[in-house]
Structure 1
Amino acid sequence: MRPFDDIDRIARTEALDRVAAPARDLVNRVLTNRKIADVLHGVPIGHPLHPALAQLSFGSFLSAGLLDILPRTRRPATALIGVGLLVAGPTAASGWADYSQAHEEQQRVGIVHAAANITMITGYVASLAARLRGRSTRGALLGWAALAAGSAGAVLGGHLSYHQSLGANHAEDYPHIGPEDWTDAGALADLPEGEPVARRAGEVNVVVVRRGDEVRALGQRCPHASAPLSDGDLADVDGDTCVECPWHGSVFRLDDGRVMRGPATAPAAVFPTRVRDGRLELRVATWPGVPAS
């Protein structure tokens, strides 16, 4: 049996939907401000926010646990627990924001991950209270118990990120497999006006939008969860023409693939375009965010 088979079984346990689905719906009812949601997803920094905060919070708790083993280090351990608890709030908020846009199997693992982290935070609150009352040994024991729960939660969080790809960039491979040379993508006259359509460039699929003689193209897969962007709608954001993901509402600027609205944090892959003899030609940009022409 592989070490993570038990976690895979969690992902297949439909009974967890009785808790996971209402939790998702509650987060979506509370988190209605898009600007706040984008910050919690990590859109402004171009990277998921939750893993970075989780490292800071859990790292503080882990360091406190190590200091509790050494003589005369209980006071700095107490300070580290305080830091971890302060960071735990925004860490949880960013995690719930990502959870609200996850698919069912991710949510099942996510709700168990959240339960482990809630147990950890409860234990560290009790540990801090005991330390502040001068009961340092009891505080250390509670801290180690909380650390054990948090370690289980960290394993589940790693599984979500690396095995189930929650928060990962699902379009990262485009610059590596897209055509580097100009590649024919069909007749310009066959493209409808102002409508996202799917085309193929070499070995990859792209979404193409024609507006008069101007053509813009992005990778077909949404970086957030691989949704087909050709099924999305065009949107105007701050005067820029964008395409909106049909699954979770991420919005990408056609000119350079920039994320204008999350939950996606990575830009869409850009394909510069040109028209020769009435034929559309594409090639992939080497770096994300390069203008399309």
Structure 2
Amino acid sequence: MRMMTRLEEARSLDPLSDKLQAVVFAAVRPQFLRDLLHGTWLGHPLHPVLVQLPVGSFVSAAILDLLPGKRHASTVLIAAGTAAVSPAVAAGLVDWSQMTKDRRRVGLVHAAANTVAVGLYAASLVARLRGRTTRGKAYGFAGLSVAGLGAYLGGHLAYAQSAGVNQAAPEIVRVPEDWTEVCSLADLPDGRPVVRNVAGVAILVYRHGAEVSALIERCGHESGPLGDGDVTGSGADACVTCPWHGSVFRLADGAVVHGPAASDQPSLRVRVDGGKVLVAQP
């Protein structure tokens, strides 16, 4: 853990990280492509889904390499896994480019380890196709070992640094389960969201006509202040754009419209009683 802490604080990686980030931004410009790779349409990041094929293929190949008479099958698996790496890399880089610096430092080493692993698997495939099975197996086992290091770093990103998770989700449990007054209906301007607090939790409250909705104000992607974001559209189709990384959410229900956020913004139950706006946990 001390090693991981030093890696998170390794500012010497920032110049390379910043240059690679600029390359990713320049290479993936269309919003629809960024949304596709972020997994906005899927409801959670796409990268963890895409890594299943190469990882599964490489692990299966390693098992078959320990059994007699499975040379052809393991070669096919190595080829399939190597071919499946590119889309997983693309999704991972797009997610990585929108992370905080400490996460990008770990992510950079994670990517480097996986690049070495893929290189070893490519060498393994070439050796196998040339009939050098023993050498191919050696490269394959070496690739799996390095990929294991990359997987450890990826796990640290997800579970220790909360990369790719909805940062706003923990705020939900801090909101009272019982109906709690957040403001009066008369205090809400029509068509413009306002920030109010309930039990220390910032809530983004939006009114369109007689309908009122409430979202956690802290952006689920990287905790940006949605209350400072621009509003586009009107009525039930109005959306707010996070001022930090540009994620777009529909104010009426928190549905994610554009990434880098890959999941909906958490919303609360709302009712109006006697001119008072009340909210509660979902």
TM-score of the two chains, using structure 1 as the length reference: 0.90
Residue type of the alignment partner of 1:24: Q
Which of 12, 20, 23 is the aligned partner of 1:23?
A: 20
Matches within 5 A, 1:205-244: 205-236=202-233, 240-244=237-241
**Alignment partner of 1:262 is 2:259:** yes
Verify: 1:41 aligned to 2:38, yes or no. Answer: yes
Between the aligned partners of 1:206 and 1:237, the Cα distance in structure 2 is: 20
Could you tell me which of 58, 62, 66 is aligned with 2:59?
62
Rate the CA distance shift 1:238–1:126 in 2: closer, same or farther, 3 A: farther
C-alpha distance in 2 between matches for 1:24 and 1:187: 45
| TM-score (norm: length of structure 2) | 0.93
Q: Residues 239 and 36 from structure 1, CA distance in 2 versus in 1: closer, same or farther, beyond 3 angstroms?
A: farther
- The answer to whether 1:114 aligns with 2:124 is no
| Secondary structure at the counterpart of residue 177 of structure 2 | coil
Task: Report the equivalent of 2:193.
Answer: 196
Map Cα deviations across residues 28-59 of structure 1 (whole Å, 9 max, x no partner).
11111111111111111111111121132112
Task: Give the superposition deviation at 1:203.
Answer: 4.7
Q: Count the aligned residue pairs.
A: 282
Indicate which of 146, 162, 168 corresponds to 1:165.
162
Q: Which residue of 1 aligns with 2:98?
A: 101
Which residue identity does 2:87 align to in structure 1? Answer: P
Q: How far, CA to CA, are the matches of 1:278 and 1:271 in structure 2?
A: 18
1:90/1:137 CA distance change after superposition, 3 Å: same
Deviations 1:54-89 (A, max 9, x none): 132112112212221222222111111111112101
Q: Which runs of 5+ in 1 are unaligned?
A: 286-293
Q: 1:20 to 1:132 in 2, by over 3 A?
A: same
Match of 1:290 in 2: none
Aligned CA distance change for structure 1 residues 231 and 17 (closer, same or farther; 3 Å): same
Q: Which moved more, 1:80-89 or 1:272-281?
A: 272-281
